Amino acid sequence: FLGRNVVRLQALLGDPGARLFGLDPTRDPYPEFERLRRRGVLVRSRLGLYLTTSHELCSSLLRDPRFGTLPASALSVVDPVVRVDGRKLVNPVDESFLVLNPPDHTRLRRLVAPWFTPRGLRAQADTVERVVERYLDEAAGRPSFDLVRDFAARVPIQVIADLLGVPGADHASFARWGRALVNALDGVRDMGEVRALRTSLREFEAFLDDLIEHRRRVPGEGDVVSALVAQEDLSREDLIATTELLLVAGFETTVNLIGNAVLAVLGDPEVRAGLLDDPACAEAVVEETLRHDPPVQYTVRVPFETTEVAGTRLPKGTPVMMVIAAANRDPAVFADPHRFLPGRPDGREHLAFSSGIHYCLGAGLARMEAAAALRGLFGRFPDLRAAGRVTRRPSRVIRGAARFPVTTGETK
């Protein structure tokens, strides 16, 4: 855990990258992003990377074919490689098309793209509504519940499980695996976290092996995994990595979008009144949440060759960290950027789903789920209130609530 001490020391010396990585991940990161913005468009960190908060630069780099991706674990900079008993712990998401470059990226993305086209999404609209209703029914009748654990996490887990063809999805295990994998993007703090990561990786892989085996014997109708196992030229590694990517990307992000949107609504009486008055506002609230408080806060690209960017020579392989959450509040693009204003005319310019060839495949599904969740939640519980302290997840890459107690205001 040497990396963590180097980061601490550099943060004390004022290094901008170390200040970001050294931030308490449960604290509000936006003031630090503004300090970074004041330092320039492309800022060098002694940790061996560059950072940008500029919307213009982020969107051009994300679409620049001279730049490629890095394994997600490299995002952490802090202790990115975890070794246990001399062996490297490999997260299959780190081998998925999220972090592959063309032509492998193109080949694998194309295989699963049909489920996410407008037509594919229309086919899932009823499932989404049904799943939302089911968990609202479960929450109803209880005067209080945890918005994340009992609702925001359940909806996307069930939707993606249905899409992939997972029979009887075990929410608690999914949530545990997803949390361990995603929290590890920030680097692993102690042996307890290493153990949790190792256990989750093992359990997840065993579960995926069983699922694949099951779908080979009993193909489902129209689900992703049944279609993938029917592809004879797909290796086991690609099959596992693609399925795991869809599962983890499918719920670990959307849960936070729903949670962050509800937080915004509960914190702003005007937005709340607007949503209660016209449930169709849910789409605009979701879009503004994506801009104002995006679940994925940053991503990284590296140049394939030495390249000049914004007047700076970047040697081949130098990571550039694009702070999406800061680009989404760039005053050059967004008027009054820190205000939460659903329906703002510049709102769709945000980079919450990235841009270019890695543009989030599930963007349409995430928008649909989050809007249905908000409409359903405030339709059913118009008096919904926070009922205690909201705790943030201990992650800088992913922003969302860990605990979010609410009361429905219903009396029985």
> Footprint of ligand HEM on this chain (CB under 6 A)?
69, 97-98, 109, 160, 245-246, 249-250, 253-254, 257, 294-296, 299, 352-354, 358, 360-362, 365-366
User: Which residue, 296 or 314, is less far from ligand HEM as judged by CB?
Assistant: 296
Token pair listed for 379: 């339709």
C-beta of residue 327 within 8 angstroms of C-beta of residue 56: no
Minimum distance from residue 124 beta carbon to ligand HEM (Å): 10
Measured distance CA(254)–CA(155) in Å, rounded:
9
User: Which residue, 146 or 287, is less far from ligand HEM as judged by CB?
Assistant: 287
User: Which residue, 183 or 299, is less far from ligand HEM as judged by CB?
Assistant: 299
Token pair listed for 24: 């308490």
C-beta of residue 359 within 8 angstroms of C-beta of residue 119: no
> Looking at beta carbons, which residue is closest to ligand HEM?
362
For the CA atoms of 274, 275, 279, 280, what is the dihedral angle to 10 degrees?
A: 70
Query: Rg of the chain over CA atoms, in angstroms?
Result: 21
Categorise residue 307: left if φ over 0, alpha if ψ from -120 to 50, beta otherwise: beta
User: Which residue, 196 or 211, is less far from ligand HEM as judged by CB?
Assistant: 211
User: Which residue, 109 or 396, is less far from ligand HEM as judged by CB?
Assistant: 109
Measured distance CA(1)–CA(325) in Å, rounded:
27
Minimum distance from residue 246 beta carbon to ligand HEM (Å): 5
Minimum distance from residue 86 beta carbon to ligand HEM (Å): 30
Minimum distance from residue 281 beta carbon to ligand HEM (Å): 18
Minimum distance from residue 294 beta carbon to ligand HEM (Å): 6
User: Which residue, 334 or 353, is less far from ligand HEM as judged by CB?
Assistant: 353
Minimum distance from residue 191 beta carbon to ligand HEM (Å): 29
Q: How far is residue 206 from each of residues 122, 132, 177, measured CA to CA in Å?
A: 32, 29, 12
Angle formed by the axes of helices 282-292 and 254-266, nearest 10°: 100
Measured distance CA(347)–CA(284) in Å, rounded:
9
Minimum distance from residue 100 beta carbon to ligand HEM (Å): 8
Instruction: Give just the sign of the alpha carbon dihedral 365, 368, 371, 377.
Output: negative
